[in-house]
Structure 1
Amino acid sequence: MTQNTHPRSSAPEATSSRDCDIASPGLSAAGLPLAKNWLAIISFIWAGQAASMITSFAAGYAIVWYVTESTGSALALAVMNLCAMLPMGLLSPFGGIVADKHNRKLIMIVADGAVGLISLAAGLLILAGDVSFPLLLALCIARSVGQAFHSPAMMAAMPMLVPDKHLLRINTLDQLLASIASIGAPAFGIFLYTTLGFAAVMFLDFLGACVAVLGLLLAKVPTVVDPAAAQQHVGANLRDGWRAVAKTRGLLLLIGGVTLGMFIFGPLSAL
């Protein structure tokens, strides 16, 4: 009887274990329970962000083209690029702190929605013939501020939505999307600018922001707040972040190299 019962008892246990492995959604890269439809969630977010990124890049290059065409001034173009880059560079560390203390999905929705509404207002003003250089500078600053809070929230949300073994693939797709947008958006933006007009490009940017917000609304993003970070002052958060980076010498060298490269190749990109 022992020989007959042993195989029968072990087979159901093995089958049960396999069934549990298949049914279990597992954990995300951040160690949180992973939704069974995690791929659909990522698809909603990624599709919306792709539409927003392409239209946003196109609108940015349309602004560059308009300033170049209307002023012919290298100084004006330099000031505009400064307004587009400096707020994001200065505020991004604070954007990361805000993402650690608040709802990351809400931060992304507010950032995308605010930039979209600003583009809509700018498109209406341009359509009414009230386009001016200060208006375009304000538009660049607003878009840069929104990006400073949106990007850290997006980067912090992804490890909570993706299994650890797929996180590298998702990050690679994000970088691929950014590269495609940066390469194709100038031609796309100039094409829209010359065929449909400046205002139409701004309206398209608004539609792209709406698609991004819709994708985020359809996706369920966990809200995780770091209690230690929530109780700390902003200055203490920044100090802890710098200490964490400084522990790895290679990471400091990488950041320094990337910064130097951006200083060197940034003007070439604008040209």
Structure 2
Amino acid sequence: MSSEVSSPAPSSPFGIPDFRRFWLTRVCSVFATAAIAVVLGWQVYDVARAQYGMTPGQAAFQLGVVGLVQFVPMLLLAPIAGVIADRYDRRKVGAFSLGIDLVMALSLGLSTALGAASLPLLLGLASLHGVARAFYGPAVSSIAPNLLPPALIPRGVGASSMAMQIGTIGGPAMGGLLYALSPALPYWIASALLATGLVMVLTIRPLPAPANNREVHPVRQIIDGFRFVSRSPMLLGCITLDLFAVLLAGATALLPVYARDILTWHGQAVGPMGLGQMRAAPAVGAAVVAVVLSVRPVARNVGVKMLWAVVVFGVATAIFGISRNYLLSLAMLAVLGAADMVSVFIRSSLIQLSTPNDMRGRVASLSGIAISASNELGEMQSGIAAALLGATGAVVFGGVGAIVVTALWSVLFPVLRQSRTFASAYSPQAANPTKEQAT
């Protein structure tokens, strides 16, 4: 007892060993999946153009199909995964999801090495990542709040986001470079990283068990999760803002089109190397902001800053869409990444701090569905829009759409712009919801 009293409380999330293991899990997993995403996107577009003789618009539509096949399993499994994360050991659930991604990476590496890559195979393996994400998000995102005291959670969110951005920067750059050396090599490296992340998450100490809710039927728990979010304007506003803004402004899905057929450097298409750089550029901007936020988190006028960040995200997306200068395009991707990081930091902090522990898995699963819808369905929307409007028209339309959505949400959910600090998230109602609130 006396040793606990005399031990100073950590002033940084990294002062807690288990958080460091969690952070390494995030770095390894995101680094690997980001590398896979850039190589897989290039392969799908290139195979569609070279082997199937598709036009740029038809091949761009296949990039949208990649998003669709990842979203469908995410949509079907995420509510169930949220209940599992609230009932069972979140470390093991996270390890299970990383194992699925590991199988996907090894299969992609083997098929690429054997020259057996085809659109059906690539799309089928891409769908496995949707299965993995359904379980990874609710389990792993719910671990961090159990490792940190409440006062360190905003900094933990910033540090966790920084881990994500490190992986998002290094992964695409590594994927593009290694693919140029040997097409299967990025998949082998990604497999090693996923295996490392799997081991790291299992070495985190056993976590406090969520409230004993196994007597409640899983279907009832899913319904309770939807009801909890729908009755909280803060949670509903944060989750749906990300859903609709990024759903429209998903320029990332069309980067292979820009790399192969639009942007040039010294008279030549920027190619897979340029694609890796473009995929990494948003993460460069986001990483700079994440480092700042992990040291000096946003503390005042958080809601207004979140809304303005989404507006900047939309403006940068639109400028990228019309740019034909490669350096300007990279700069705009970095700006939209920085703006998105501000939005993610504030939104994630509000969601984590406004959700009780026994609801975090289910709320995270609903947030994950929204994120997946905005990313994967956003890819599908971008593919369809590109087929109809061309790549440039699709990206510009999305950027303007994100600005319009932000203006609407500031009116429909006034609690977002009225949120001054994170203090309201520490209310007893947030930490200990009443029976009526929970049911």
Structure 2 length normalisation: TM-score? 0.51
What SS is found at the alignment partner of 2:142? helix
RMSD: 2.4
Matched, 1:153 2:139: yes
The 8 Å contact of residues 38 and 162 in structure 1, kept in 2 or not, is answered as no
Which deviations, in whole Å up to 9, do the C-alpha atoms of 1:214-261 show, x marking residues without a partner? 212322132514322x22223211221122112222332222222111
What amino acid does structure 2 have at the position aligned with 1:146?
A
The 8 Å contact of residues 35 and 171 in structure 2, kept in 1 or not, is answered as yes
Report the counterpart of residue 270 of structure 1 in structure 2.
253
Report the counterpart of residue 48 of structure 2 in structure 1.
71
Report the counterpart of residue 181 of structure 1 in structure 2.
167
In structure 1, C-alpha distance between the alignment counterparts of 2:97 and 2:26, rounded to whole Å: 12
Q: 2:204 aligns with which of 219, 223, 231?
A: 219
Q: Report the count of equivalent residues.
A: 242
In structure 1, C-alpha distance between the alignment counterparts of 2:195 and 2:4, rounded to whole Å: 40
Report the counterpart of residue 20 of structure 2 in structure 1.
43
- CA offset at residue 156 of structure 1? 1.7
In structure 1, C-alpha distance between the alignment counterparts of 2:136 and 2:235, rounded to whole Å: 23
In structure 2, C-alpha distance between the alignment counterparts of 1:137 and 1:68, rounded to whole Å: 11
In structure 2, C-alpha distance between the alignment counterparts of 1:240 and 1:181, rounded to whole Å: 34
What amino acid does structure 2 have at the position aligned with 1:140?
A
- CA offset at residue 154 of structure 1? 0.9
Q: 1:99 aligns with which of 70, 75, 85?
A: 85
In structure 2, C-alpha distance between the alignment counterparts of 1:111 and 1:44, rounded to whole Å: 17
- CA offset at residue 64 of structure 1? 0.2
What amino acid does structure 2 have at the position aligned with 1:82?
L
In structure 1, C-alpha distance between the alignment counterparts of 2:247 and 2:4, rounded to whole Å: 53
Which deviations, in whole Å up to 9, do the C-alpha atoms of 1:109-149 show, x marking residues without a partner? 11112211231133122212222212211211111111110
In structure 2, C-alpha distance between the alignment counterparts of 1:213 and 1:55, rounded to whole Å: 12
What amino acid does structure 1 have at the position aligned with 2:18?
I
The 8 Å contact of residues 113 and 210 in structure 1, kept in 2 or not, is answered as yes
Q: 2:181 aligns with which of 195, 198, 202?
A: 195
Report the counterpart of residue 111 of structure 1 in structure 2.
97
In the alignment, structure 1 segments of 5+ residues that lack a partner are: 1-15, 27-36
What SS is found at the alignment partner of 1:227? coil
Which deviations, in whole Å up to 9, do the C-alpha atoms of 1:159-185 show, x marking residues without a partner? 221222212111111123323433553
Report the counterpart of residue 154 of structure 2 in structure 1.
168
What SS is found at the alignment partner of 2:16? helix
Q: Which shifted more, 79-88 or 149-158?
A: 79-88
The 8 Å contact of residues 65 and 190 in structure 1, kept in 2 or not, is answered as no
Of structures 1 and 2, the larger Rg is shown by 1
- CA offset at residue 209 of structure 1? 0.8
The 8 Å contact of residues 52 and 212 in structure 1, kept in 2 or not, is answered as yes
Matched, 1:245 2:229: yes
What amino acid does structure 2 have at the position aligned with 1:233?
H
- The verdict on how the C-alpha distance between 1:218 and 1:254 changes in structure 2, with shifts beyond 3 A counting, is closer
What amino acid does structure 2 have at the position aligned with 1:269?
T
- The verdict on how the C-alpha distance between 1:223 and 1:189 changes in structure 2, with shifts beyond 3 A counting, is same
In structure 2, C-alpha distance between the alignment counterparts of 1:251 and 1:244, rounded to whole Å: 9
Which deviations, in whole Å up to 9, do the C-alpha atoms of 1:48-77 show, x marking residues without a partner? 320221121111110001111221312221
Report the counterpart of residue 123 of structure 1 in structure 2.
109
Report the counterpart of residue 255 of structure 1 in structure 2.
239
- The verdict on how the C-alpha distance between 1:177 and 1:23 changes in structure 2, with shifts beyond 3 A counting, is closer
The 8 Å contact of residues 92 and 202 in structure 2, kept in 1 or not, is answered as no
Identity of aligned residues (%): 25
In structure 1, C-alpha distance between the alignment counterparts of 2:15 and 2:84, rounded to whole Å: 25
Structure 1 length normalisation: TM-score? 0.81
- CA offset at residue 20 of structure 1? 4.8
What amino acid does structure 1 have at the position aligned with 2:191?
F
The 8 Å contact of residues 56 and 208 in structure 1, kept in 2 or not, is answered as no
In the alignment, structure 2 segments of 5+ residues that lack a partner are: 50-58, 255-439
In structure 2, C-alpha distance between the alignment counterparts of 1:204 and 1:218, rounded to whole Å: 22
The 8 Å contact of residues 87 and 145 in structure 1, kept in 2 or not, is answered as yes
What SS is found at the alignment partner of 2:143? helix
What SS is found at the alignment partner of 1:231? coil
Report the counterpart of residue 144 of structure 1 in structure 2.
130
Q: 1:59 aligns with which of 36, 39, 43?
A: 36
Matched, 1:21 2:5: yes
Higher RCO, 1 vs 2 (CA within 8 Å, ≥6 residues apart): 1
Matched, 1:232 2:229: no
